[in-house]
A and B are shown apart, each in its own frame.
Chain A
Amino acid sequence: MTDTKKIEVRETRIVTRRLHDVVDAWKYENARADGAYQIWADVLRKGDAADLLAQVKASGLRGRGGANFPTAIKWESLPADVFPRYLVINGDEGEPSTFKDREIIEKDPHALVEGVCIEAFACGINKAFIYLRGEFALGYDRVVNAVKEASANGWVGENIQGSGFSLDIVVHRGAGAYICGEESALIESLEGKRGMPRIKPPLPIHSGVYAKPTVVNNVETASTLTHIIKMGGAEYAKLGVGRSTGTRVAAISGHIKNPGIYEIEFGMTFREIIFELCGGLRDDKELKFFLPGGASFQWLVNCDEHLDQVYDIDDITAKLGTTLGSGAIMVYDQSTDPVLVAWRLAKFYAHESCGKCTPCREGTGWIEKILYRMSHGQGRPTDMELLLSMSANVSPDVLRAPFTQTTICPLGPSPVSAVASLEKYFRAEVDAACSGGRPGIAVNVRVNS
């Protein structure tokens, strides 16, 4: 198929190379034959943590979990001389449409373990936690197995390869709450408590797991580290555009011909990603809109300005006010009802709100209830104004992006992004949805809402 060939040309496979090219890369012997742990062995031989920091700094690597915080600056913020300190790998990938970490976790867990080793060494950490989403049953088995194999082969444990450096890796499985992908809620959950975000400051880097300095990194970030050390930071930085260096693993789904994960070099346009890399829309239908950065941020639509937008962390925020978020792109064709999409997203957030702070706990539920009515033929003429006005209780300046919040963490404002997108791009559909209602009657009576 010609399409497949094109994909191979346009993808820049660094982090995902092994999981594509090596059969059963999750098995130690296969990964090892492909060079796994070689960089880790080199790092141990050199024993130069400062050089690792320098390389990562030169690479310009930014966190791949969605917040895009420069990894090297995070490392540098570690308070000196406070021990023990911990490394936590955030593998609680729970956002709708996001599945990039899952591929790495399930198919190339040794890349993750090697990245964890290198990061722990760079930060002087002797205990790392890999927190995996509870639903990742296979992933959990594979990572546990990888850690076991790495230990058996002397890459993890006491006095690794005679270097004097020791590292213990604990793999922890979550209990099924989306909020635990938020780093402080993840730490609460890891400590055995109910997963709810902490008040910041203090940031985890100062007081995280067991109130000790904690580096929290995404799975993809950690897995990238090995390649940065291998290539050299400066070489890695040549990839990408502006301050968005290197590649990003994007999970692309929806009404698309070839859904899946694609490792994209920053700088591509959405038009290239959707229509060339992924082969265009299913049945060659017309694009209606797409979510450029997971479920939590504002949508983009079928117009030249949006399609020619460059895949660049800073540029998209500066120009269009949305972000690349968790690295997921969801594509919808003309058959889609945007109000229904907004409702389904809101339902997710209403269900996953941890309940800690009022605006999120109550606001997400209210948004969901209104959108349910609108998308199920019970909309009222006043509903959209009400939505916009009550959403301001959660995220003042509703249409503004990136959003502001009255909540503790960004979960609450997430469905407001969908509301704002409806208002910005789909007012006609909204008005249609709002005309069928019968004012004055509470209709939202459902079982198990």
Chain B
Amino acid sequence: MTAVNEAKTTVTVTIDGKSIEARPGELLIKVAQDNGIYIPRFCWHERMKPVGMCRMCLVEVDGIRGFPPACTMPVSEAMVCHTDTDSVKAAQDGVLELLLINHPLDCPVCDRGGECPLQDTTLAFGPVESRFVEEKRHFEKPIAISDLVLLDRERCIQCARCTRFADEIAGDPLISFVDRGDHTQVLNFPDDPFSSYFSGNVVQICPVGALTAKPYRFKARPWDLATVETSCTTCAVHCRGAVQSSSNQIVRLLGVDSEPVNQGWLCDKGRFGYEHVHSAARVLTPRVGGREASWPQALDAAVAELKSAKNLHGGGAIAMIGGASGTNESAYAWARLTKGVIGTDNVDAQLGDGIAAEVVLGSDRAQISDLDNAAAIVLCAGDLKEELPVLFLRVKRAALELGVPLVDLSAAPHGLSKYVTHALGAAPGEQGLVAEQLASAIGGATPANETIAAATRSIGSREGNIVVILGRTSLAERDDTVVSAAAALGALPRVRFLSALRRSNVHGALEAGLAPGFLPGRVSLDSGRVHFTSNWGSVPAERGLGTEGILRACAEGKIHVLVLVGADPLADFPDRSLAKQALDTVGVVIAIDAFETPSNRRAKVFMPCTLWAEQGGTVTNLEGRVQRVSRKVSASGLALDDWRIASELAQRMGSDFDLETVDEITEEFSRVAPAWAGASTATIRNARDGVVLPFADHLGEVVFRRGGSSLDIEYSLSWEPIRADGDDVAVEASDVDETAEIDRTIATEDALTLFVWDRVVAPRSIPQRDAYALRVNVGRKLYDGGRIVAESPSLVGLKKAPTMLVSSADAARLGVLSGESVKATSSRGSITVELKAARGIAPGTASLGFSADGTGASELIDASVSVTDIRVETLR
């Protein structure tokens, strides 16, 4: 199909006398827009299929009777189109007049007033006054169609943007048109709210004030808002957004269309989670021994503990968990502090809920956009809809719209289940085994079964790479099943991996060396030793422990000081009992956090840090894309950026980083970290869609902003996918040459090579399952008990108690009714949970949601066991 299109190359069309080259089949409205001719529109949205409903884009095309809408008219050779004749203007005027007759014109009290496309279009194209003297249509003023979104049907102009988004993009067709004629209205179904994870997007793309979001309603007027482009760091996708504030309070986050990342969409947790920044529960003052203290007191107290532990027991007696929630610069500063100054390699940005850093950093990587034209997408991860919602949208689109086969290794039903082409039906803990079967079938061996044969055939029939989305499939299993799956699949020639680690800037933290055995820039401790010793003074002698090892060592009394940087092991570590034991035993906890958590409640020293939108810098998403995040509001209370805390601690430890600003860290990072070689603050700042690591390999892809580095955005464009500038230019030759030169020097200096995983895995065996037990798959939910949800008033109510899903056969066997509470017992502990019989789950398997508030599934999991089996009994 592409071949045919390429053969036809372009067609020439004439719009308002201007001769334009366009791709055949492209829509007239888009061709005009790309060439500076704006045809007014309401229903058409670049990311959705055209419907031709609002008729605002009526134009004249020579040879066609009447007024065809430009949004449904594909361009063809020699087409001549007029968008500004008197008759076109009369037609457009007429449509606007009709749109306004039943519109309440309550602009003064409407949240959209000032940034309303209907207002703007009326001013630009519409009639001056209304001739409508009849009674307008009336509906009950705003009705809540979900917990987050309100609908005012009087203001609605029936453009179907929201209903199409819900159906086409989100896959949640929960709102629809009802009634006819001028009483046509958008509604949810009775007793079935519009509870989509993506509901906030319909508020943004609504061309009037019909849809409003609870968090922003009546909070501000658009002309009072200050806006800056940034990335959302709620999960690891890092959707581009525009954060808006008024009076130093964040009031809104809007999605910005970044083709390689989020295509304009945000999930509701990301969109509304900004509320947690202003939570009253924030800790705003440093504390020592539970009492408020000054910064010098807190820093001195922390350094005293660190020094004494180091002097008495060596650097290895100190461990750090966390660092994934801040910026790359913070992660780098903490890596330099722990590995270069304190001298410990017991550092881990993950909380035992991810996958080994070797696999993430050392495998061939895919980009998000590779999903669109992949030979196949292999799902070997948790539920993307719950963990990485906007990545879920991209995978769904690839499978549904672009025809990419979806091969599923999941053990439990998930958000993408209904789009899966080949469900390989792996049982919990057996993803590695099934992946090996799949890999050998793709490699040419006889397929183990018909499903694998079918998957192999459909992969074999397509060009492109096989993108494996690799994440922790279940928190109730050790990561070794995923690691062996990665080893098996990674041996195939066409396979690229897209990491599905979910936590905020975890990829930036790993790239910065916040993992045992690694140094910044994707180099191993051993290969980077010489280089970093010369830059930092020293590096740890031996590979240290990951989070599980750290907690075990704490519990055994081998670690004396535990530093928690935005980490809450009691809530997030899968094995709660081990985390509890560790925190009860360890001598000193030093916490850097914005909130008091069960894990840091007993901290000897508590240092408050800034949060998203209070700190600037760069972040790295799951494909390795480095983008800027912007500071929009000033720090709350006495909170400091994480990097500054690290830098102050280092200075008091006797090692001055001499790093005063974020930019200076970025520059140092680029100078010393191999994967960052070639980066500069200027490049990152000016790259419209960021730069993918390693820089040297991807500089050619960078699209630079025209007109410098400004991230300021016109607020009035919020209903279209917003962009700071419409005119993008390709990389200029001078940029490439300059950066390429820097690259060569760093890469050759110390014979540094980027880490490559050798795919060696220890042999593993899966324990036999006894006939009475259920093997449990534990996955995270979007609205969990984590800080962002718990501290955002709009989101906290959306949290649901976890339920356990089993097959109806198992429910019948257990004699339990769907919806009944049961007691689930593992070798570790037992919990009471509601049980539900569900489709798509194999007998013998149970699926349980993980609630990140330290209750529930984490009571059942033993981190030292490869799978978790449970017995279920009724409470009757």
Contact = CB atoms under 8 A, between A and B. Distances in A.
Question: Which of B99, B132, B157 has most chain A Cβ within 10 Å?
Answer: B132
Contact of A442 (B134, B158, B181): B134
A358 B182 contact: no
B88 to A, nearest CB: 11
Nearest to B159: A358
A376 interface: no
A358 B55 contact: yes
B400 to A, nearest CB: 14
Interface in A153-200: 177, 179, 194, 196, 199
A373 to B, nearest CB: 8
Contacts of A350: 181-182
B182 A365 contact: yes
Contacts of A405: 66
Contacts of B184: 354-355, 361
B182 A362 contact: yes
Contact of A364 (B50, B65, B91, B181): B181
A48 to B, nearest CB: 37
Interface stretch (B172-180, B521-529, B761-769): B172-180
B91 A354 contact: no
A179 B176 CA distance: 18
Contacts of B54: 357-358
B131 A361 contact: no
B52 A362 contact: no
A369 B55 CA distance: 22
Given A361-B181, A366-B132, A449-B135, A390 B55 contact: no
B645 interface: no
Given A350-B182, A355-B177, A357-B54, A393 B95 contact: yes
Interface in B113-149: 131-135, 137
B181 A406 contact: no
Interface string A404-428: 1111100000000000000000000
Contacts of A365: 102, 137, 181-182
A293 interface: no
Interface in B706-745: none
B222 interface: no
B135 A357 contact: no
A446 B134 CA distance: 10
Interface in A352-410: 352-359, 361-366, 369-370, 373, 386, 389-390, 392-394, 396, 404-408
Interface in A69-99: none
A313 B741 CA distance: 79
A364 B94 CA distance: 13
B95 A352 contact: no
A64 to B, nearest CB: 24
Nearest to B137: A365
Contact of B177 (A194, A370, A390, A393): A194
Given A365-B182, A366-B101, A449-B135, A358 B91 contact: no
B454 interface: no
Q: Is the interface of B mostly helix, strand, loop or mixed?
A: loop
A360 to B, nearest CB: 8
A179 B53 CA distance: 15
B98 A355 contact: no
Contact of A359 (B50, B95, B133, B137): B95
Contact of A358 (B72, B135, B157, B183): B157
Interface string B46-78: 000011111110100000011100001000000
Nearest to A350: B181
B87 interface: yes
Nearest to A391: B94
A358 B158 contact: yes
Nearest to A366: B101
A196 B180 CA distance: 10
Given A352-B180, A396-B67, A406-B67, A369 B95 contact: no
B97 interface: yes
Contacts of B131: 386, 389-390
B44 to A, nearest CB: 12
Contacts of A446: 135
A353 B181 contact: yes
B90 interface: yes
Question: Which of A365, A392, A406, A408 has most chain B Cβ within 10 Å?
Answer: A406
B99 A445 contact: no
A351 interface: yes
A359 B176 CA distance: 20
Contact of B158 (A199, A361, A392): A361
Interface residues of B, number: 39
B94 A392 contact: yes
A30 interface: no
B99 A358 contact: yes
B67 A355 contact: no
Question: Which of A358, A363, A364, A386 has most chain B Cβ within 10 Å?
Answer: A358
Nearest to B42: A358
A191 B576 CA distance: 51
Contacts, number: 117
B65 A404 contact: yes
A358 B131 CA distance: 17
Contact of B51 (A199, A353, A354): A199
B53 A353 contact: no
A362 B135 contact: no
A351 B158 contact: no
A4 interface: no
B52 A408 contact: yes
Contacts of B94: 359, 390, 392-394, 406
Nearest to A445: B135
B96 to A, nearest CB: 9
Contacts of A38: none
Contacts of B58: 406
A336 interface: no
B503 to A, nearest CB: 41
A444 interface: yes
A277 to B, nearest CB: 36
B154 to A, nearest CB: 13
A444 B55 contact: no
Contacts of A352: 180-181
B55 A406 contact: yes
A366 B134 contact: yes
A365 B136 CA distance: 10
Nearest to A405: B66
Given A366-B134, A404-B66, A408-B52, A353 B158 contact: no
B62 to A, nearest CB: 15
Contacts of A357: 52-55
A199 B55 CA distance: 12
A339 B767 CA distance: 85
Interface in A17-50: none
A353 B55 contact: no
A350 B183 CA distance: 10
A181 to B, nearest CB: 14
A359 B135 contact: no
Interface of B: 50-56, 58, 65-67, 72, 87, 90-91, 93-95, 97-99, 101-102, 131-135, 137, 157-158, 176-177, 179-184
The 5 closest A-B pairs by CB, nearest first: A355-B184, A393-B94, A365-B182, A362-B98, A353-B181
24 contacts: A179-B180, A194-B176, A196-B177, A199-B52, A199-B72, A350-B181, A353-B181, A359-B55, A359-B95, A365-B102, A365-B137, A365-B182, A366-B101, A369-B134, A370-B134, A390-B131, A392-B90, A393-B91, A394-B94, A394-B98, A396-B67, A406-B58, A406-B95, A449-B135
Interface of A: 177, 179, 194, 196, 199, 350-359, 361-366, 369-370, 373, 386, 389-390, 392-394, 396, 404-408, 442, 444-446, 449
Given A196-B177, A358-B53, A393-B95, 16 more contacts: A350-B182, A354-B180, A357-B52, A358-B55, A358-B158, A359-B55, A362-B102, A364-B181, A364-B182, A365-B137, A366-B101, A370-B134, A394-B94, A404-B66, A405-B66, A442-B135
